[in-house]
Structure 1
Amino acid sequence: MATVELRFSAQPEHVRTARLVAAAVARRAGVEEAVLDEVRLAVGEACSRAVGLHRGNGLTAPVRVVLTDEEKVFSIEVGDEVPGPAGGPAGAVPGRDAALDQDGEDEMGLAVISGLVDDVEVTRGDSGGTIRMRWPLHGAAEAD
């Protein structure tokens, strides 16, 4: 299992770099070329959401992106450090969600990610939130 971890300050201009790194690592891991655009878009949405949460809550902690190449699956976790109620709604964030829910920005971002990624999990707890996305590696379906 190979893992790449990327941390960047919560600045919108760094989201593009995270997208490029994710696409490069996904390609090297064996994700099909036809799926790479989906990887880029999903990572961009997840990172933009994390940046918005950090900035909206006045956090200076970096956004965390972990890319993992396992035997049959490639996964990406995008994490923020905005605490929320464990077991509460995955998108619920104190101080930030009230504004986001008014214009649907947060829900729209999560909907876009869910539309791009078949295997996605959104969690929130005391130490922050994580969006975990998984894609099968090229040839993994045939091997089963």
Structure 2
Amino acid sequence: MSHTDSVVTLTFPAKPDYLVLSRLALSGIARSVPLDPDVLADLKLAITEACGNAVRHAYENGDGPVTIAFGLEEGRLEIVVEDRGSGLDAPPDTKWEMPPEPEGGMGLAIISTVVDELEVTRGTGGRGTLVRMTKHLTRSEPSDG
């Protein structure tokens, strides 16, 4: 996201009670863009998974911030979730797949199925984790029915 884009940023404590804020913010952003309801539901799932990972894994005692940035550019929505916690080391070419025994660890695999681009890197200054999700937006075509 560049500084010239329309960017909305939200920061909240890494506590489960605050996860709903991420979905509410996304719903607000979606009002300015014609999104198919299924796409919005998929994006809500993706943002819940990304923020949930930060809440569960970033901070040992849960004390720390989670920041979400929403950027709208022509034809795409970019969502960045960043924490300042312990960080996740993932090679840039990682293919996020469902684990054979789904007891957990499915979040990034789920996200990768509902967004067009997924990038997981170290956060700003090499601390924490940054999850960048991009969804290419297409206008809904009227149905012939």
So what's the TM-score if we normalise by structure 2?
0.74
Letter of the aligned partner of 2:113 in structure 1? Answer: G
1:39 to 2:56 alignment:
no
After TM superposition, what 4+ stretches of structure 1 lie above 4 angstroms from structure 2? Answer: none
Identical-residue share of aligned pairs (%): 35
Q: Structure 1's 128 and 72: CA in aligned 2 closer, same or farther, altered over 3 A?
A: same
| Alignment correspondent of 1:112 | 110
The CA deviation at 1:65 is 0.3
8 Å CA contact retained: 2:69, 2:79: yes
The CA distance in 2 between the partners of 1:115 and 1:43, in whole Å, is 13
Number of equivalences: 124
Distance in 1, matches of 2:131 and 2:103, equals 18
2:94 pairs with 1:89:
no
Q: What is the aligned partner in structure 1 of residue 15 from structure 2?
A: 11
Q: State the match for 2:80 in structure 1.
A: 77
Change (3 A) 1:84 1:33: closer
Whether the aligned pair in 2 keeps the contact of 1:77 and 1:133 (CA below 8 Å) is: yes
SS at match of 1:79: strand
Q: Distance in 2 between matches of 1:81 and 1:59?
A: 11
Matched residue SS, 1:29: coil
Does 2:134 match 1:130? Answer: no
Query: Which ranges of structure 1 fall in alignment gaps of 5 or more residues?
Result: 91-102, 140-144
Superposition CA RMSD, Å: 2.3
Structure 2: how far apart are the matches of 1:19 and 1:47?
Answer: 10
- Cα deviations by residue, 1:69-126 (Å, 9 ceiling, x for unpaired): 11121110011112447xx425xxxxxxxxxxxx852x31111111222211111252
Structure 1 residue identity aligned to 2:50: A
Q: Does 1:63 align with 2:48?
A: no
Q: Deviations over 1:48-72 (max 9, x none)?
A: 00111234x2352210000001112
Q: Which runs of 5+ in 2 are unaligned?
A: 92-101, 140-145
Once residues 75 and 9 of structure 1 are traced to their aligned partners in structure 2, the CA distance between those partners, rounded to angstroms, is: 22
The residue identity in structure 2 corresponding to 1:60 is D
**In the TM superposition, what is the alpha-carbon distance from 1:32 to its structure 2 partner?**
3.1
